[in-house]
Structure 1
């Protein structure tokens, strides 16, 4: 930096580098200064016009602004515009969904496709937490994309399950509650053998006798396959409601499902409850049909 100023009348600050590079002291252009001051005016305007200053709850939470504008109000207005557009565009399909039965809807390919397309968000919001994305099933919850159904997989049965919910019921230690620990071990081995197609093996003959003694066949059928869908699992496939682990299967046999004593679940019992959605879903009558068609179309609908 130079210590002399060869251009004393230029209006520089006296800071000079490399002999001729100077720092000038010119005032900003008028247009820039006007914009600068206008910015301060706009700050005051925005502070008065929009909600701006945070306050304590006792003082009202924040300044409201003379415009009364909030992001929530703007969102609601925009959402109403979107819904009005949707109502106008898809009114005919929505009317059909409301007036037709689920059995009729799945026979109409165009309407079925519309119901499936408009159910994805509903399924994600209300069903996927338990049944997984696409019905793949989360741990300890039923898979909806296969063809193994506890309560039936035709379209009307699916609709009834969604609407009214389902509560699993399996007594502890057999229907009579009289199985010993040894007998529980034996029938556990028999149930596993049934799933592997080995229910007739001599090695599980004792468990087969316990299966009859415990009245397991009353729900699961004489050969491990329920005669009608009424909440009982098919024991001849390898689809398990909770787990294929032997200890888990034994626990279910020993402690049952949804077994209560004095209004409380007993220790070890498995809880299997699906809530009723007829009181939970918005516009439930139509949306239950929509979801039933979607679940039916996931791959396992009968």
Structure 2
């Protein structure tokens, strides 16, 4: 029987193994740790038997209990979808006025509309619906085609200047380069800017008043407050869709920019259009 070797520094028995003069100490793990380790092995074996655990070629073992977190999640999702479908069917069946007057249905429509807005509308109108150059701010009360529920629904469903939809809003400001002299366009630009700001040349603005009356009032109104039925913007509210300043107004008179909004009815369906209508109306600018 070989003699036990004791490490001189630690006083611990060695295993007898030695590498390059270094001896391995015989420090076994605590028994409670060993038994815990064995217990985890037994637990793993039991878990593999009881639940889906062992991968196969195209699937996995079903387990004794047949439990699956994926199946449970799918069941929850199916229940949620079924619940949503009931409300979605109600949205599709009711008018936007009826939806708005039902608190629970209105809340559901706003939530659905907010989600649809982020996916389909935020690219142009911004994530907060505040718009940008050429894209209307949907939070204010300045509306080109009307801000009540019916008007918003029509605009979303059929779009603006969208050629593929026969019911789309259609209006275009003509280019006045063939109608007005450059000085007249400068005059009317100064006049329109002067409605809400100080014009660069009061004399130009004064002359532009008659130019406006003769060429622009038919659409924008004699008071320049616009006409929703024509999509003509209000020019006295200091809200500018394209850009600000006399030069910008001059360019718009000479060579107008015309935005196009797609018709969403065919893409999203009637229920989603109604949800978007309720959502946009709820932003605070709806009338």
| Same topology, TM > 0.5 | yes
Secondary structure of 1:273's match? Answer: coil
Matching of residues 195-210 of structure 1 within 5 Å:
195-196=196-197, 204-210=205-211
Aligned residue in 2 for 1:194: 195
Aligned residue in 2 for 1:226: 226
Aligned residue in 2 for 1:237: 237
Is the 1:165–1:276 Cα contact (8 Å) retained in structure 2? yes
Query: In 1, Cα distance between the equivalents of 2:72 and 2:265?
Result: 28
Change over 3 Å in CA distance of 1:184–1:24 after alignment to 2: same
**Aligned-pair Cα RMSD in Å:** 4.0
Deviations 1:14-39 (A, max 9, x none): 99xxxxxx851567797769989xx9
Deviations 1:109-162 (A, max 9, x none): 332233223322122222222222342223431011111110111111100111
State TM-score, norm by structure 2: 0.70
Aligned residue in 2 for 1:87: 82
Matching of residues 266-277 of structure 1 within 5 Å:
272-277=259-264
Change over 3 Å in CA distance of 1:275–1:95 after alignment to 2: same
Q: Confirm or deny that 1:296 pairs with 2:281.
A: yes
Query: In 2, Cα distance between the equivalents of 1:142 and 1:243?
Result: 12
Q: Confirm or deny that 1:157 pairs with 2:151.
A: yes
Secondary structure of 2:284's match? Answer: coil
Secondary structure of 2:266's match? Answer: coil
Using the TM superposition, give the Cα deviation of residue 203 of structure 1 relative to its aligned residue in structure 2, in angstroms. 5.1
Change over 3 Å in CA distance of 1:125–1:6 after alignment to 2: closer
Query: In 1, Cα distance between the equivalents of 2:203 and 2:187?
Result: 12
Query: In 2, Cα distance between the equivalents of 1:180 and 1:219?
Result: 20
Matched length: 251
Change over 3 Å in CA distance of 1:138–1:87 after alignment to 2: farther
Could you tell me which runs of 5 or more consecutive residues in structure 1 were left unpaired when the two chains were aligned: 16-21, 40-45, 51-63, 69-73, 259-271
Secondary structure of 1:135's match? Answer: coil
Could you tell me which runs of 5 or more consecutive residues in structure 2 were left unpaired when the two chains were aligned: 1-6, 45-51, 62-68, 162-169
Using the TM superposition, give the Cα deviation of residue 191 of structure 1 relative to its aligned residue in structure 2, in angstroms. 1.0
Change over 3 Å in CA distance of 1:197–1:98 after alignment to 2: farther
Is the 2:96–2:278 Cα contact (8 Å) retained in structure 1? yes
Aligned residue in 1 for 2:180: 179
Q: Confirm or deny that 1:108 pairs with 2:114.
A: no
Using the TM superposition, give the Cα deviation of residue 255 of structure 1 relative to its aligned residue in structure 2, in angstroms. 0.9
Is the 1:197–1:236 Cα contact (8 Å) retained in structure 2? no
Q: Confirm or deny that 1:99 pairs with 2:93.
A: yes
Change over 3 Å in CA distance of 1:80–1:193 after alignment to 2: farther
Deviations 1:242-299 (A, max 9, x none): 12233322221111123xxxxxxxxxxxxx1111111222xx1111111101111111
Deviations 1:53-78 (A, max 9, x none): xxxxxxxxxxx75449xxxxx97984
Is the 2:112–2:272 Cα contact (8 Å) retained in structure 1? no
Aligned residue in 2 for 1:263: none
Change over 3 Å in CA distance of 1:80–1:122 after alignment to 2: farther
Change over 3 Å in CA distance of 1:124–1:67 after alignment to 2: same
Is the 1:150–1:231 Cα contact (8 Å) retained in structure 2? yes
State TM-score, norm by structure 1: 0.67
Using the TM superposition, give the Cα deviation of residue 90 of structure 1 relative to its aligned residue in structure 2, in angstroms. 6.8
